[in-house]
Each structure stands twice: as C-alpha cells, then as structure tokens.
Amino acid sequence: MPESINPANGDLIAGYDEHSDSDINSILTQTAAQQRRWITTAFPERAVLMNNAATVLRTHRDEYARLMTLEMGKPIAAARAEVDKCAWVCKYYAEHAESFLKSDTIRTDASDSYVAYRPLGIVLAVMPWNFPFWQVFRFAAPALMAGNAGILKHASNVTGCSLAIEDVFRKAGFPENLFRSIIAGSKRMDRVIEHPLITAVTLTGSVPAGKAVAAKAGSLLKKTVLELGGSDPYIILGDADLDKAVPACVNSRLINNGQSCIAAKRFIVVESVLEEFTQRFVQLMREKKMGNPLDESFDIGPQASASLRDELHDQVQRSIAAGAKCVLGGNIPDSPGSWYPPTVLTHVTKGMPAFDEEVFGPVAAIIAAKDEKEAIRLANDSIFGLGASVFTRDVIRGKKIAEYELEAGCCFVNQFVKSDPRLPFGGIKESGYGRELSWFGIREFMNIKTVYIK
C-alpha cells in the first residue's frame, strides 16, 4: 500500500489502495473513448477549460501548497510559488496552443502541401516527487491543449498530490476521464506501457528509471520524452560580480531543499577568485535556517525521505574519504524526520561522488580551475547535460561560452538555471532527450503529418 509520510517528523499522513490491473484497464478504456471525443473540441473551448484550471489552482493555492509541504517537505513559500507557476503554464498554453499547432504550408510541386499536427492519443506521465505539481502541469497543460489525454503515475509518496491534480481538472470542467491518476507501483509500469491504448510516455526522474522506461517503450516503438538527472556546473570566472553570483549560486543549490535536477551542484571557480568566492559562499550557506517547512521563517525543510537523506550522506562521506574537505554541515541531526543541513565540500575532484554523481540535496561541491579553459573542461566532464551557468561581467564572453562551449540543454549567463513556459526545457547525454515547454514541448506528442494534394 502506498503511503505518504511527513518527512519533517516521520508521521503517517495517509495510505492508499493501489489500482488493480482491471481498474487500470477500465480507466484506460474510458480515457481513450474520451480522448476520441476531445480531439473534436475546438481550441477556444479547450482554452476556456485550461484557463479554468488556472483559476482552480489559484483559488485553492494554500490548500495545494500545504499538501505538497506535508508530503515531501517543500518550504511553504516555495510550494505556493509552485502552484502559481502551474497556473501560469495553464494560461500560457490556453493562449498559445492553437497558434503553436497551426498547419505549416510548404511550397512543393503539389497544388497544396502542408504539415499538420495531430494528437497521438493517451500519454502516460511517470512523474517524481520533488515538484509534485509543476512536473505534472508542464506536461499536462500542453498535452491536453493539443488534444491528447493524460494518465499520471506519480511517485508513491505524493499520492495525495496526484489525486489533487486529477481533481483540479475535474473542478475546471474538463471531460471526465480525460486526465486520470493511477495508483500503482513502479514495477507495474511495464504492463501499463505495454497497453495498446498508451501511445507515448514522458518521464521525469532518475537515469535508471529513464533507461528502463525508454527500453520498454522503445521495444514497442512508442514515443518517449525523458527529463532525467543533472549535475549542473556553475562556472565562476575571475571577473564575476560576486555580489550577485554568490547569492544566485546559494539560492540555486538550496532550491527545493536542494532536491532539483537543475539545482546548481558543482561550483567551478577559477583560482583568482576561489578563496573569496568560497568564503562568501560558505557564510551565506551558514546563514540559511533549517526547520519546519510550514513556518516561513525557515529557508530549508527536510529531505523527502529518510532513505534519500541517508543516500545523500553516504555520497558526502565517500567524497570526504576520497579527499574532499567538509567546511560546513555534513552531519545528520539527532532528531525525528529526514533532515540534512546545508553542506559545503571543497577540494572536490573527478572521481568523487560529489563530482561524478547527482547529489540530490543541500550539498555544494566547490571545484578549483586554473583558468577559463579548464573550467569549461571540468564543467563538461560529466555524464549529465541538463543545465549550466556561467558568471562573468563580460556578457559577450559569457554568451559565447553558454552557446558554443557548454554541453547542456539549458545554459544561462549570470543567472541560475530555471524553467519557463516560454522556453524549451530538457537535456542531453544522460540527462535525457526531448523537450518540454514552449512550442517545442507541445509538438513532442503530435503526429507531425505531411499532407500533399496534387
């Protein structure tokens, strides 16, 4: 039985019964029938409902934010901001979906030839716990506006959020069964992917989970989009404005209690500013307060579970054993809940978990580089390629590094990496493939259809 456990104190919030195979088959059958009707609905009618969803989110903002905080420990202010962002993506696609999917006329020797965008059918979304509303809405808003239907398999520890999201669409007036949540363990996903009514799969999660889903979907020739892990490098050049760079770096490392694929994880600092950057960075990390995530006076809540916290601590300990220096944090508090303090490791080098692995928590790795060239080499020396950032007063130089030299799907200059409905989001290498958001994202689960008339 899936359970939601409050990571702040270890208390049980709720337990849930899983759907049986028969239940899931019935849900998929009903969803497929509804999707066939949905594709005949005009864009203006879809937009009304999607705008309604934004209104529902804003109306119930505090309720949904509290649910997220209780289930996975997100600071309450960040949880409210997440609800607002979900409302934004709903309104964005309500406004732009029709123009994004307008047919493109192509001149050929035909009397008429064009590219049309038609929905694939039911998209299965396998989603993680760290942004339990946002990860879902950034898939669901474009998918539903495009004429697809959605089936959500959420992480088991945020089942309450999963059911709440289904209810958002119900409250907004969407047709019954167009978007459904299924409660089932990860080991049962192969059978769901195999179901003939599932036409495509999107997954946000770990590299092993992504590879498993991609292998199963690929064997059935079903389209996938994967947004996987990251070990985002932040390059601090010698001319960086540290008054702006240090707060941006700290905020990025601690966002969502450090549990974000696009959080800054490796801080690669050229030697000329290494000492000053490190001193400022450690001091600001030390000032961040850890405590009850429902209390807005605290900056950092618990890790999402004890097992994840223990895995994080093991990465820290193995890095120290390999030669890293722990200059802040690095200990497990003797208190109930899944707590881990802001931690800073220096003297981090290749071969340590803090360099090579995704460190999913409030642990920063500071890495020394002789110069710009070495900093770029170290940034790219990773199996991941989701986000990256470079800090420099020379914006032209920063733009060149971001566009041409950093190996990542999202590269920022003088700003921490973040997602935005207006911009495509996704990675390369073991951070996955495909794109979400923008017009790129809404076209991922479409039949890009050539129509030729002689």
Catalytic residues: 227, 261
CB 388 within 8 A of CB 233: yes
Report CA-CA distances (Å) from 284 to 27, 248, 254, 277, 411: 50, 11, 11, 11, 24
Question: What does 86-109 look like in DSSP terms, one character per residue?
Answer: HHHHHHHHHHHHHHHTPPEE--SS
Three-class SS of 123-180 = EEEECCCCCCCHHHHHHHHHHHHCCCEEEEECCHHHHHHHHHHHHHHHHCCCCCCCEE
CB 338 within 8 A of CB 294: no
Question: What's the N-to-C CA distance of the chain in angstroms?
Answer: 59
As a whole number of angstroms, the distance between CA 145 and CA 225 comes to 18
As a whole number of angstroms, the distance between CA 105 and CA 114 comes to 4
Q: How far is CA 183 from the centre of its chain?
A: 21
- Render the burial of 7-31: b for 16+ CB within 10 Å, e for the rest: bbeeeeeeeeebbeeeebeebbeeb
Identity of the amino acid at 180: R
Q: How far is CA 340 from the centre of its chain?
A: 21
Give the helix/strand (H/E) hosting 360. Answer: none
Token readout for 193 is 């992917």
What phi and psi values does residue 117 have, to the nearest 5 degrees? Answer: -115, 115
Pick the closest to residue 181 from 211, 222, 136, 143 (CA basis): 136
- Please report the beta strands in 282-362, taking only residues with DSSP state E, as ranges in sequence order: 325-328, 343-346
Pick the closest to residue 419 from 131, 186, 161 (CA basis): 131
Q: How far is CA 434 from the centre of its chain?
A: 13
CB 364 within 8 A of CB 324: no
As a whole number of angstroms, the distance between CA 161 and CA 139 comes to 15
Estimate the share of the chain in helix, then strand, then coil, as percent rounded to the nearest 5: 45, 20, 35
CB 66 within 8 A of CB 79: yes
